[in-house]
Amino acid sequence: MAMKGLAAVMDEEKEIEIIPRQYAADWKRWLENIHDWCVSRQLWWGHRVPAWYVTLEDDELKEINSYKDHWVIARNEDDAQEEASRLYNGKKFHLSQDPDVLDTWFSSGLFPLAVLGWPDDTEDLKAFYPTSVLETGHDILFFWVARMVMLGMELGGDVPFRKVYLHPMIRDAHGRKMSKSLGNVIDPLEVINGISLEGLHKRLEEGNLDPKELTVAKEGQVKDFPNGIPECGADALCFALISYTAQSDKINLDIQRVVGYRQWCNKLWNAIRFSMSKLGDDYIPPTNVNPDDLPFSCQWILSLLNRAIFKTIAALESYKFSDAASTVYSWWQYQLCDVFIEAIKPFFAGSDPKFETARRFARDTLWLCLDNGLQLLHPFMPYITEELWQRLSSSRDQTAMESIMICKYPSIVECWKNERVEYEMDLVDSTVKSLRSLANERRERNLLLYFAEIMHLQRLLAAMNLKLLLLPIYHL
């Protein structure tokens, strides 16, 4: 069984792919050095060992296990009765089931089969065995995953899953394993809902720590959470943990990082609030948009949205969840909110009719960005994206999906791709940042710069005068 499990991962065909691949070495080491496994445990709960001891009427010794060859293995007591009658034909006997239970990892090793109705040949078993992906912690790769593979191949005739994704282990901000005696255990619900320092202390007091451990634990909480844990919400915690998966071995969870993502949620709210005020109640989204007709900034943000979609999908398909989260975050934070929304504000600053076409294009582009951007973010922040997406629903037709959860995930739109616009916008953006930096260094309110030697940049900045209007301290 062990050699079959080893081959399933290490052979060239790779019936099972372990992600990250570094853990394949652990798999190889364990299964090449396999030992006998005692499957019984003396616990109060669990699956009873399916073994019955046969005490014959004429046995001299009546205690269980007095005779090693008096055991029968069966699915149930009726089958055990039948097997004992066959072995001891014509003799009177009494059956006693083994009081031990099966090792937890033996029982859970049957999980992929048992949940689908095995040993019966059910329709679920035919349809869903083997499954596609198992996600679990790397610390139980041998205890659980290897046993599922060995038992699945032996009893089910195939590996139970095709891929195994192993997530890092969560530790405290100092890299210590969470321990009740250290007082550094972080309850996800307390991060989601928030809790005071007094509440953290009370949780410790309700436990079973001895007085010395309780004192040490409280001191640890005072040091790490002097003001308790602020309410962060499920989305911020979820996004933080996904972002941490770049650390493939362990996650040193810093609550302040979760707080930062909670604050970022506020920025998402503000972006939607601003956008809805500019779209208006009677806005009707476009059926299609020709990027060539759009203003420069609109072409730019759609091109970057297209790039973000491509990178996010590629990262998700390769199980690089941290890269996917980082891509979505960067597009929302640094491109949509920090640049594009600021760039289109002059279009809405007044009612000048010469900007009417630009306003219409800006609205259409903004709506496309919000609709696709929220869907792109949804797997990472399901609750806030659903809430914000529903606020766009009044702008959709009656055939729209009822929930963002069942929308088709965004896909690449080739006509949005525009590398020339991306390059030129990078020039503008870097120039603006340089101007800001120079003004801050000199502490001057009025700054006059000439770009006589860089004619292309000079023409580009002239064409982007609306962008530069956002920087009133500069005169170009």
Residues 57-68: tens digit of each pLDDT: 999 999 999 999
Whether 468 has a pLDDT exceeding 60, the answer reads no
For tokens 């020039």, name the residue.
427
Each residue's pLDDT tens digit, 390-409: 988 655 555 567 899 999 99
Higher pLDDT, 438 or 344: 344
Whether 361 has a pLDDT exceeding 60, the answer reads yes
User: What confidence score (pLDDT) does residue 53 get?
Assistant: 96
Return the axis-axis angle of helices 356-377 and 296-317, rounded to nearest 10°: 10
pTM for this model (two decimals): 0.84
User: What confidence score (pLDDT) does residue 349 get?
Assistant: 82
For residue 457, CA distances in Å to 297, 300, 396, 430, 449 come to 16, 17, 40, 11, 12
d(CA 51, CA 65): 11
Residue 247's pLDDT band (cuts 50, 70, 90): confident
Residue 280's pLDDT band (cuts 50, 70, 90): confident
The pair of structure tokens assigned to 319 is 């199980």
Higher pLDDT, 39 or 304: 304
Provide the percentage of residues in the chain whose pLDDT is more than 90: 67
User: What confidence score (pLDDT) does residue 397 get?
Assistant: 57
Average the pLDDT over 445-465 and give the result.
Answer: 54
| Greatest distance between any 2 Cα atoms in the chain | 112
Higher pLDDT, 163 or 354: 163
Whether 430 has a pLDDT exceeding 90, the answer reads no
User: What confidence score (pLDDT) does residue 287 get?
Assistant: 80
Sketch the domain layout of the chain as residue ranges.
Answer: 2-39+104-167, 50-99, 263-417, 427-475
User: What confidence score (pLDDT) does residue 446 get?
Assistant: 59
Residue 450's pLDDT band (cuts 50, 70, 90): very low
Each residue's pLDDT tens digit, 289-300: 899 999 889 999
User: What confidence score (pLDDT) does residue 193 get?
Assistant: 97
Of 345-359, 361-375, 434-448, 458-472, which range is least confident? Answer: 458-472
Provide the percentage of residues in the chain whose pLDDT is more than 70: 91
Task: Return the top range by mean pLDDT from 170-184, 271-285, 369-383.
Answer: 369-383
d(CA 212, CA 224): 19
User: What confidence score (pLDDT) does residue 380 get?
Assistant: 98
Average the pLDDT over 119-123 and give the result.
Answer: 94
Whether 465 has a pLDDT exceeding 80, the answer reads no
Higher pLDDT, 451 or 258: 258
Task: Return the top range by mean pLDDT from 33-37, 79-83, 173-177, 339-343.
Answer: 79-83
As its CATH architecture, domain 263-417 has Orthogonal Bundle (1.10)
Pairing of strands 40-41, 101-102: antiparallel
User: What confidence score (pLDDT) does residue 207 get?
Assistant: 83
According to the 3-state scheme, what is the secondary structure of the chain?
A: CHHHHHHHHHCCCCCCEEECHHHHHHHHHHHHCCCCCCCEECCCCCCECCEEEEEECCCCCCCCCCCCCCEEECCCHHHHHHHHHHHCCCCCEEEEECCCEECHHHHHHCHHHHCCCCCCCCHHHHHHCCEEEEEEEHHHHHHHHHHHHHHHHHHHCCCCEEEEEEECEEECCCCCCCCCCCCCCCCHHHHHHCECHHHHHHHHHCCCCCHHHHHHHHHHHHHHCECEECCCHHHHHHHHHHHHCCCCCEEECCHHHHHHHHHHHHHHHHHHHHHHHHHCCCCCCCCCCCHHHCCHHHHHHHHHHHHHHHHHHHHHHCCCHHHHHHHHHHHHHHHHHHHHHHHHHHHHCCCCHHHHHHHHHHHHHHHHHHHHHHHHHCCCCHHHHHHHHHHCHHHCCCCCCCCHHHCCCCCCCHHHCCHHHHHHHHHHHHHHHHHHHHHHHHCCCCEECCCCCCHHHHHHHHHCHHHHCCCCCEEC
Average the pLDDT over 367-371 and give the result.
Answer: 95
User: What confidence score (pLDDT) does residue 178 get?
Assistant: 87
User: What confidence score (pLDDT) does residue 392 get?
Assistant: 84
User: What confidence score (pLDDT) does residue 433 get?
Assistant: 79
Look at residues 33, 36, 70 and name the one whose alpha carbon lies nearest to residue 55.
Answer: 70
Whether 473 has a pLDDT exceeding 60, the answer reads no
